[in-house]
Amino acid sequence: MTRTAHTFAYARPSALTAAGTGQALGLETAGGLTPSGAEAHPRFFAGFLGAPQAAARALLAVADVAAARYYRRTLQASLDPVVTGNGDRLRFESFSGCCGVYARLDVLPEGLRGAETGHGTTNVDVNNPLREALSRLTGDDPLHLRVGPDEMAVTTLDGPVVEKKVPLPDRWLRGFAESQAITTGFDLRAELTATETARFLRSLPRTPGGGTAAGAALWVVPAGRTLRPTTRPVPGAVCLPGPERLAALQRVLRHATGLRVYGPAAHGTEPTASAWELGLPGMRLTLTLSPEPDRGFSGEGGVLEALATDTAAEDAELISVLLAWEPRIDPADLADQSGLPAERVRAALTRLGTAGRVGYDIAEAAYFHRELPYDARRAERHNPRLVAAHALLAAGAVTLDPPRGAVVASGERRYQVRESGGALSCTCQWWADYRGRRGPCKHALATRMALRAVTATPTPAPPASASAAV
């Protein structure tokens, strides 16, 4: 697994301190991007939180996921959460070290008081002393939040004095993109009241495999005002893969106003990803779970088709110029501004998502602009199947065989890639195992690129007849 060391550089540690009749939470920022360009310590917000205790615990929940590995727990991981200012809200994001759980806290306009929110993306320091201080926070005394250096320090910072070096695996970066691509196909499946939310979440097993047979997926289905567990995906059911991975929601359960559950329509018995959105006063805390606890988002392959087309790359460059740190990106508006068809705009947004430049808010069914504060384009350059497909194409291993599809030579083997209804299938073992559920195999991906190259090549004009010669 490819990984590099990533350095978080902060002016000072984040801290919770006494301030008058309340508390002051200062979250220090590392390098990030803003409308003015790259900044060492961007400043996004300075004001009060509407629900102090709930906000403190929700931030801890995001940090819990960042520090967790729900699979192979002996390995440690801790990547500081990412924060994005979208002009009217703050979004805190993290990804588990095992690449199987994505967490996001959206602090909405009604949850922020007394100041305007800036624009940009950076990492925020959530250190152990801060975690302990936030855990001890009680009552609803005023809590002043500062994201970025205080005004007096902005002009006096001489450079970072606190550094953290952590591994940044490529598969972690791919997970960000894949989880976004998957959730765009989710629909709302269930909605619970605050009382039923607490009852349901407290009933879930806290240990891996608790309450289910080894290797079996847990499903839940709406039943009256609550969710009932089931061992098979009946109509309307939602997969709950690894229910112990919802443990981070326990931190804020007493403040919950309800639970919304999202997922795809159940087809067959294969486990699927799902998203669990906990409503809080002025906030939303969402956990998105990969289809299986030992299966990270990085290998799902949902973005490979968008990465394999030159058109999407060109379109993404055009669309990126039109992004303005908006909390809601409307593809129809982008289509009007760019002159591109809506389907090409959506493909471009998917491609921008692989570079960490847009995220997807399932609650509002809308993309939002953010710029991950590290080289997320590595996720594209180092995607194993995409790299292998380019290598097959460059080696001349793809022989198109219309209308049946293509023959792809890989090593000493030959694979038949067939097209039906716009979808490609293959005779390789990957296709036999997953049947397209985890994206195309490298042979199908190389075939798709070869087909597009042929389509994009202009047909030479027939030679002029002798009688037409001047």
Q: Name the burial class of residue 19, with classes exposed (0-12), middle (13-18) and buried (19+) by CB atoms within 10 angstroms of its CB.
A: middle
Residue 304: pLDDT above 50? yes
- Overall pTM surpassing 0.75 (yes/no): yes
The pLDDT tens digits for 73-97 are 544 556 789 999 999 999 999 988 8
At 466, the pLDDT band (50, 70, 90 cuts) reads: very low
pLDDT for position 468: 42
Per-residue pLDDT at 152 exceeds 60: no
Q: 96-136, pLDDT tens digit by residue?
A: 888 899 999 999 999 998 778 999 999 999 999 999 999 99
Q: How confident is the model at residue 372 (pLDDT cuts 50, 70, 90)?
A: confident
pLDDT digits (tens, 9 = 90+) for 57-74: 999 999 999 888 887 654
Give residue limits of the domains in the chain.
384-456
State the average pLDDT over residues 285-294.
93
Q: What angle do CA 176, 244, 124 make, to 5 degrees?
A: 40
Amino acid 439: pLDDT: 80
Q: Is the pLDDT of residue 438 over 60?
A: yes
Q: Report residue 131: phi and psi, to 5°.
A: -60, -45
Residue 161's pLDDT band (cuts 50, 70, 90) = low
Mean of all residue pLDDT scores within the chain: 84
Spatial contact of 89 and 106, defined as CB atoms under 8 Å apart: yes
Q: Cis omega before residue 403 (within 30°)?
A: yes
The residue-averaged pLDDT of 357-373 equals 91
Residues in CB range of 358: below 8 A, 6 or more apart: 180, 323, 329, 349, 352, 367, 368, 369, 370
The reported pLDDT for the residue numbered 153 is: 42
CB atoms inside a 10 Å sphere around CB 339 = 8
CB 228 within 8 Å of CB 220: yes
For residue 111, the model assigns a pLDDT of 95
pLDDT tier at 411 (50, 70, 90 boundaries)? confident
Determine the pLDDT at residue 239: 94
Q: Distances from the Cα of 95 to the Cαs of 238, 292, 357, 360, in angstroms?
A: 22, 15, 16, 15
CA distance 100 to 286: 14
